[in-house]
Structure 1
Amino acid sequence: MTCAACSARIEKVVGKMAGVHEIVVNLPLGRAALVLDSDSELRGRVVERIEKLGYSAGKFEEASESQKTVLGLGAKLLISALLTLPLLWAMVRHYTLTSGIWIPELFLQPWFQWILATPVQFVIGAPFYFNAWKAVKSKSANMDVLIVLSTTSAYLYSHYMTMHMLHSGGADPHSVYFETSAMIITVVLLGKWLESSAKKRSMKTIHQLRRLSPQTVTILRSENHPETIGLNSVKIGDTLLILPGEIVPADGRVMSGRSAVDESFITGESVPVEKRQYDRLIGGSVNRDEVMTMQVTALGPQTALGKMIHLMEEAQASKAEIGRYVDRIAAVFVPAVLVLALLTLCMWSLWLTPGDFKGALFKAIAVLVIACPCALGLATPTSILVGTSRALESGILFKEGKYVEQLQQIDIILLDKTGTLTYGTPRVTDIVTDSGQEHRLLRLLAAAENGIEHPYAKAIVKEAARRGLQMKETSSSQALTGLGVTARVDKHEILIGSRAFMSQAEISMQKFAPITEQLEREGKTILFAAVNGVPAGLIALMDTLKSSTPQAIRRLKKMGIVVAMVTGDHRKTANAIGDRAGITAIYAEMLPQDKVHLVRTLQSKGKRVAMVGDGVNDAPALAAADIGIAVGTGSEIAKDAADINLLHSDLGGVADAIVMSRKTMRNIRQNLIFALMYNVLAIPLAFMGLMTPWIAGTAMALSSVSVVANASRLQRASWRN
């Protein structure tokens, strides 16, 4: 594809095919993402249809192929520039101010200029003819059509004048315009080379992610005999040996050994994480200290790294709404330019300067060149490409490009408490029960909570282990999201959970009211316990506020965003955490359905709502919000439900994501304003004959380059708003 008209044409034609529900074409990436029926032959028909339109549909370009593209364009550009420079030198004779500059006599000879211009026009420029023919054959028009029409007109006119002068014996360099056709092709190649170079730089994050997986691994066969094999030969369930300094090749779990693992490139966390038996390993992380063995649980696209790469590619291939408006404009732009150029030719040759066909032709050529919508088509997707790449480098993954546009429109952010504002690793601080029954109650509750993934459950089990208590056998256990746990332990019916959970079970905890109020004022979370339907006591837990939370809250408020906390904890506990975090708007004792109701209530009042969470109970609210943001330490369900994933646990990433969203949209608006103003101002100048074709070609190419250069500034953007 060469311009926005190409991508718009593919979307329009393929989008009308039976079985194609959605198609999004990304111009700078050269990619198309489709939603198709599960017809085994449909994919082939889509590829065939795209090829009939004049394009090739193949495998997504890898880094090495991208490098070849840049080098190939660079070589063509160099040859074209060397052939064009003598023509430009001779061109100075056209203008009064520069007519005194010395020019080699050979350069002024029309036949010599013809020899230099011909390979530029028909060898280096051959791809333009090839693509233009395919476009015309498919009854469409694109940038190649404009370039071919303009350069061929200038070349053929100059060729005719050269043959005439050779026949008559004259040699007037003012009568030929070979420099116009050669200069347009050279400058367009310059723009393409710069765009390819910028794209290659912007894609470096994805290429680096792809290189994180090693090519070979050490597998342990029978009798623990190590053998080196290719990563492609590894299967799920295989046991691999990971030596110090080696990259973890796939997702898995530690089977033996204990070591510090660097997950910084995946999660953004700079401090290595200690891994023990059965801990999760992420493919792409680096083993730092000791030898480990791991069992493979996921390979290729199913690994955390593979999913991240896929989501990143999808984000850069998808379009923000503002980009769709631009595509609609670009789709009709090229046909409109052709009509305008024809109108220019007719008006000047028939009415304004009758008989001066040469002058009218070159004004029409200038209009053809200057009105090309390249800059307009590149304005949005290039900024999205660079912005999302920059965000990923800081551990922020936008699942789709449209979320970049939507995030900067947010009015209010709802923050979950446990695991989001706090570390999510609470510890037991108090156990309140009948005298002498503390160990018995803790043993029963630890048995009930054993195997439950909630942080509170793990804290209770950990406390029992710390005290050396042996857990009783559990015959059944069930976690009720947002409420608590029911279990049968040693023939006892155990309930442990929130005050609301006990109320539902019609169990009164009034006898513990005084101590409950005191503990809640201290910011502790209270879990009530009942055994066989009788109040048995309570456990108080304390979660630690993340050190980065207060600063992140201050940043969000400074950005003009309302910040609120939503939690299932009791109000007094929530207020204590809110005071330390700097949050005044607090919604406490919220069940998952209550969080969803709150989101929809705020939306009904015209607010754009973002929800930040990490747990399974946050997933419904994450999905309901205008933007859902999942914290990196959270559950897979929360990450799937969210629109943006933080690959780390630092809440400052939310503010960083908003900053990048705002800067990216500001960059897009700058690009669009520049591209539109360029066309609005330049087309009348070309129509009036105040802009020669070669200058028009230069301005057209430089406008695209300026858009790419402006978008590239995002790669170095600071995280200050």
Structure 2
Amino acid sequence: MNEQVTFQKINLEIEGMTCAACSARIEKVIGKMAGVHEIAVNLPLGRAALVLDASTELKGKIIERMEQLGYSARSFEEASDSRQSIVGLGTKLVISALLTLPLLWAMVRHYTITSGIWIPDLFLEPWFQLLLATPVQFVIGAPFYFNAWKAVKSKSANMDVLIVLSTTCAYLYSHYMTMHMLRSGGADPHAVYYETSAMIITVVLLGKWLEASAKERSMKTVHQLRRLSPQTVTVIRNEKQTETISIKDVCIGDSLLILTGEVVPADGRVIRGRSNVDEAFITGESVPVEKRQYDRLIGGSVNRDETITMQVTALGPQTALGKMIRLMEDAQASKTEIGRYVDRIAAVFVPAVLMLALLTLCMWSLWLTPGDFKGALFKAIAVLVIACPCALGLATPTSILVGTSRALESGILFKEGKYVEQLQQIDIILMDKTGTLTHGTPRVTDIITDSGQEHRLLRMLAAAENGIEHPYAKAIMKEAARRGFQVKETSSSQALTGLGVTARVDKHEIHIGSRAFMSQTEISTQKFSQVAEQLERQGKTILFAAVDGVPAGVIALMDTLKSSTPQAIRRLKKMGIVVAMVTGDHRKTANAIADKAGITAIYAEMQPQDKVHLVRMLQQKGRRVAMVGDGVNDAPALAAADIGIAVGTGSEIAKDAADVNLLHSDLGGVADAMVMSRKTMRNIRQNLLFALMYNVLAIPLAFMGLMTPWIAGTAMALSSVSVVANASRLQKASWRN
């Protein structure tokens, strides 16, 4: 018997990564460790998402191995405040810029066109330039040396290696010339290039600061979610006494007092009181929801009207808010297939650049301009700097980061970044009917049975459905309550997913369900088939009932179409996507609903396994299939589809099985998610095109000596900034097509 393998997911914050070569190196080394099944390193976020054997204690070993590679790692929960790191980076940038500015001012003497600009004599002194450049090179630039040394020790090469090699060459050459001039008593400002090393470090810092600021803006949605939970709560002790305590001291089962205007601190249920609760930030529903006794409360929602008492059922990561934050972080830390392909390119890019720089130095100093070592050296430095693959490494993860954050603001939660890439490939969407196309709150419209038996039948059916979590069961229970019936409890009810319910009530065996259910239990539906067909043509759902194996009647239920459904279907069709409805209802009912929704492809009388078979059949024909659903019976098809999309009002099982969760019930979110996916992938392709074109065009210019090192450094930094800026456009993108 094979032992079942269980997995655990962990997130680590990584410091010290500077380019795509770093993330690729970490993935390659850590991915080979025993017990590590998956690893995805996100460069812009500085984070790694890992899937490990749950039976092993790998976390400490992984952190130790990362430190051996030259990076510091820690649990994501222990990570430092990003705002603090941005402020620190900004301070370094300002100091570096102030020290570099006089060097840039003096640099104008290098060019004929600007040689007439007045320059203070002090700025032209080589010893003064040495005084300014040294702290930039070795104090502000110390992290570059530190990271480069760790990279070399781990037998890898990254952006820091390129930065250190290029700036050190420029600094040491200028230092040598300065010492020579001091000994000879001369001073030639044209002989030193301190501005090159200082400018490269300053510009790289500028790029890092802009990237960090863009990341912080993109993470604002997650930060807002984290701030939704209050730090203190009012707990009720001994039924009467109240006490204010920290949210960290709250336990499951505690009773909390939620005053008007306060935020619900955890998931739970109402045990006393009645109030309207605003769940807009969690579910996207703008209208407050009335909450009564036993109703569910979501942590992060706001109590608008009256004071209520709640009992805590989930805390921290186990709450709906906690799960949403974790899924959002996983989505931003995960990688797309195109991102992994780029990382494979970047992994060999830095060694190739080093070889190209060496070739440039040799060709110019030995062949093209023999004897001009200074000119050859600075051409090689320009190649080192300009060819850094920073923009290439940022192209994909930055767009995923911004796109998924923007999607969450619109009520769309992608569980992993790869689903953003896969969704735009979908060409057919299968949609469940009840709760997806419709509101999912059907009401009983007709009870057809033998004369004088209507009340008796409804009581028995309500007892059979008591405790069943299906919309049809709730509708029957609600109808019985509306008529003032006392519903009996029974422990013998058994629900068959997608078919019906069997139960024993007052020593009678009750069956209620679809035609297929009755056929499976060998109960005839002939007696009520004619009236059932008439009701189905009106768009009503029919449930057949039998008592002790004898047909007893039919229950007709009506579920209204969501107002957003027809427009959402039109938008999807406009995008060239085939939309089909899959439902367990009879074809006549399905046709009536589909006609109102604007859907022509209909798959009716589908049981859960039939939906899975349909998904796989379409996939075998080469179709890329998405499934949209909300119920337990949709979960298998959601998992089998290329992309599963769960509607916000659906069951937890459906949400767990899906790849994308809509936090609201508006079906327009499906079309929004599709537009978001397409725009994000278009943005990624733009970034990659820009990054590759930049290297293809810039490297030959540097090789030919048409680009000085400081200009190469500026271009390199601006290329990264341009990629980040282009990705940031997604923050203001409209998902309406």
8 Å CA contact 1:476, 1:488 repeated in 2 = yes
Q: Which residue of 1 aligns with 2:654?
A: 638
* Residue 46 (structure 2) aligns with: 30
Is residue 518 of structure 2 the alignment partner of residue 482 of structure 1?
no
Give yes or no for contact 1:553–1:581 (8 Å, CA) kept in 2.
yes
Contact 1:472 1:490 in 2 (8 A): no
Structure 2 counterpart of 1:195: 211
Amino acid paired to 1:706: S
Displacement of 1:42: 2.2
1:135 matches 2:151 = yes
Corresponding residue number in structure 2 for 1:256: 272
Shift of 1:654: 0.3
Distance in 2 (alpha carbons) for counterparts of 1:699 and 1:709: 15
* Runs (5+) with no aligned partner, structure 1: none
Aligned with 2:728: secondary structure?
helix
Read off the aligned partner of 1:34 and give its amino acid letter.
Answer: L
Corresponding position of 1:172: 188
Query: What do the CA deviations read for 1:623-668 (whole angstroms, capped 9, x no partner)?
Result: 0000000001000000000000001100000000011100000000
Unaligned runs of 5+ in 2: 1-16
Local SS of the residue matching 1:97: helix
The 1:418–1:394 alpha-carbon spacing in structure 2 relative to 1, beyond 3 Å, is same
Q: TM-score, normalised by structure 1?
A: 0.99
Q: Does 1:311 align with 2:320?
A: no
CA contact (8 A) 1:570 1:589 kept: yes
Which of 357, 380, 390 matches 1:341? 357
1:63 shift after superposition: 9.0
1:669 match: 685
Q: In the alignment, which residue of structure 1 is the partner of 2:304?
A: 288
Amino acid at match of 1:407: L
User: Is the counterpart of residue 650 in structure 1 residue 661 in structure 2?
Assistant: no
CA distance in structure 1 between the aligned counterparts of 2:676 and 2:37, rounded to whole angstroms: 31
Contact 1:25 1:31 in 2 (8 A): yes
Deviates more, 1:312-321 or 1:215-224: 215-224
Task: Name the SS of the counterpart of 2:75 in structure 1.
Answer: coil
Tell me which residue corresponds to 1:221. Answer: 237
Contact 2:466 2:489 in 1 (8 A): no
Report the Cα distance in structure 1 between the residues aligned to 2:212 and 2:300, rounded to whole angstroms: 28
Deviations 1:205-262 (A, max 9, x none): 1111111111111111114211111111111111111111111010000001000000
> Structure 1 residues 463-472 or 633-642, which shifts more?
463-472
What CA deviation, in whole Å up to 9, does each residue of 1:439-496 have, x standing for no partner? 1111111111111110001111111111112234535110110100001000111100
- C-alpha contact 1:397 1:647 (8 A) present in aligned 2: yes
Residue matched to 2:630: 614
Counterpart of 1:597 (choices 607, 613, 623) is: 613
Indicate the residue corresponding to 2:71 in structure 1: 55
CA distance in 2, matches of 1:630, 1:4: 34
Pairing of 1:360-509 with structure 2 (within 5 A) = 360-509=376-525
Identity percentage of aligned residues: 88
DSSP-derived class of the 2:729 partner? helix
Aligned equivalents of 1:637, 1:251: Cα separation in 2 = 17
Which residue number corresponds to residue 340 of structure 2?
A: 324
Counterpart CA distance in 1 for 2:612 and 2:445 is: 32
Structure 1's consecutive aligned runs of 4 or more residues displaced over 6 angstroms after TM superposition are: 61-64
Q: 1:37: how far off?
A: 2.5
Distance in 2 (alpha carbons) for counterparts of 1:258 and 1:69: 45
**Match for residue 626 of structure 1?**
642
Q: Which of 124, 128, 131 is residue 115 of structure 1 equivalent to? A: 131
Q: Distance in 1 between matches of 2:592 and 2:398?
A: 45
Q: Distance in 1 between matches of 2:525 and 2:206?
A: 77
1:231 corresponds to: 247
Q: TM-score, normalised by structure 2?
A: 0.97
Q: Do the aligned residues in 2 keep the contact of 1:473 with 1:490 (CA within 8 Å)?
A: no
C-alpha RMSD of the superposition: 1.0
**What one-letter code is carried by the residue in structure 2 that aligns with 1:263?**
E
Structure 1 residues 19-168: aligned runs within 5 Å: 19-38=35-54, 40-60=56-76, 65-168=81-184
**2:140 alignment partner AA:** I
Of 725, 730, 736, which aligns to 1:709? 725
- Give per-residue Cα distances to partners, 1:290-314, cap 9 Å, x unaligned: 1111110000100000000000000
The one-character-per-residue Cα deviations of 1:280-299 (angstroms, maximum 9, x if unpaired) are 00000000101111110000
Deviations 1:104-124 (A, max 9, x none): 121111111111111111111
Q: Aligned-pair distance for 1:436? A: 1.1
- The C-alpha deviation readout for 1:1-41, integer Å capped at 9, x for no partner, is 11101111111111112222221111111111112223554
Q: 2:559 aligns with which of 534, 537, 543?
A: 543
Cα distance in structure 2, aligned partners of 1:223 and 1:494: 43
SS of 1:354's partner is: coil
- Counterpart of 1:354, as a letter, is P
Alignment partner of 2:263 out of 227, 238, 247: 247
Structure 1 residue identity aligned to 2:176: Y
- Distance in 2 (CA, whole Å) between partners of 1:475 and 1:282 is 29
In 1, the alpha carbon distance for the partners of 2:389 and 2:478 equals 64
